[in-house]
Amino acid sequence: MLELKNICYSVGSQDTENSIINDISLTVEDGRLIVLTGPNGGGKTTLAKIIMGLVHPTSGRIVWNGQDVTDLGITERAQLGISYGFQQPPRFKGIRVRDLLSIASGKKLLPKAEACSYLTQVGLCANDYLDREVDASLSGGEVKRIEIATILARNSALLILDEPEAGIDLWSFSKLTETFGQLHEKHDSTMIIISHQERIISLADEIIVISGGKISHRGAKDQVLPNILANTYGCCPVMK
């Protein structure tokens, strides 16, 4: 179970303080699939980074399986079973896809069959990619799918995926939603997916709309999704 207690995050000095996350509290039960959605700049990525330890909250506590992890580093949280797929994954000169999957799995060298299965689950043909370097030669959608495959390879208890659909073609996208659906059915892991995609949103047990650093709406998909589609939650007040 993941508990976020009164998480606040702001940047800048006292007189020009800019609040990015504004008192978010949230509990995610084991085995649930939660989708975080909401307008660009709402604070979704920041919240995910706070859970992973990439960003330190100004105040508030993060509790994972009963343990307060707020003061733990990234590595320790990773070892406790928290994983996060970046919205914009970095590239590495000289590190191959298979190396990255091996690091993620915690094994010295991941057996080929296992590495292939993770790539297949994100719609990549393993033979073409295992020995490719994760460098600038890969396309945006390829890097993004490799990132998701490394998160699958971690076999962790909490998976946070940041816009897994971004830049991914229609064919791979349906493979991906299928994979997320199957993972969720097994109930072995808790999933938090940040997404703007209706097909992913419709997989969720609960949808949380984050806007202006706060939870603006939350509920089951049949409650929240129609309102998002009908645009009743409003958009930018200036544009209106």
Partner 1 sequence: MMFNETDSVLLEKIADIKGGEIKGAYNIRKDSGCASRATTENIDIVTKTDKAGIDIIIKPGTKNEVCHIPVIITQTGLTEMVYNDFYIGENADVTIIAGCGIHNCGGEESRHDGLHTFYIGAGARVKYVEKHYGDGDGTGARVMNPQTVAYLSEGAFLQMDTAQIKGIDSTRRDTKIVCGKDAETVVTERLQTHGAQTAESNMEIVLDGDGARGQVISRSVAQDESVQIFYPRMTGNARCFGHVQCDSIIMDSAKISSIPAITANSTEAQLIHEAAIGKIAGDQLLKLQTLGLTEQEAEDRILKGFLA
Ligand X SMILES: Nc1ncnc2c1ncn2[C@@H]1O[C@H](COP(=O)(O)OP(=O)(O)OP(=O)(O)O)[C@@H](O)[C@H]1O
Cβ nearer to ligand X, comparing 42 with 85: 42
Per-residue burial over 187-211, b = 16 or more CB atoms within 10 Å of its CB, e = otherwise: eebbbbbbbbbeebbebbebbbbbb
SS3 of 76, please?
A: helix
Q: Does 74 bind partner 1 (CB under 8 A)?
A: yes
Tokens of 110: 């991941």
Distance CA 214, CA 55 (A): 17
Strands of 2-11's sheet, edge to edge? 18-28, 2-11, 59-64, 67-68
Residue 86 touches partner 1, criterion: CB under 8 A: yes
Total number of residues shown for the chain? 240
Does residue 44 interact with partner 1 by CB under 8 A?
no
Q: In whole angstroms, how close is the CB of 73 to ligand X at the nearest point?
A: 19
Among 37, 45, 46, 150, binds partner 1 (CB under 8 A): 150
Piece of 75-83, 136-144, 180-188, 196-204 that binds partner 1 (CB under 8 A): 75-83
Comparing CB distances to ligand X, the nearer of 46 and 179 is: 46
136 is an interface residue for partner 1 by CB under 8 A: no
Give me the residues that bind ligand X (CB under 6 A), please.
11, 20, 40-46, 87
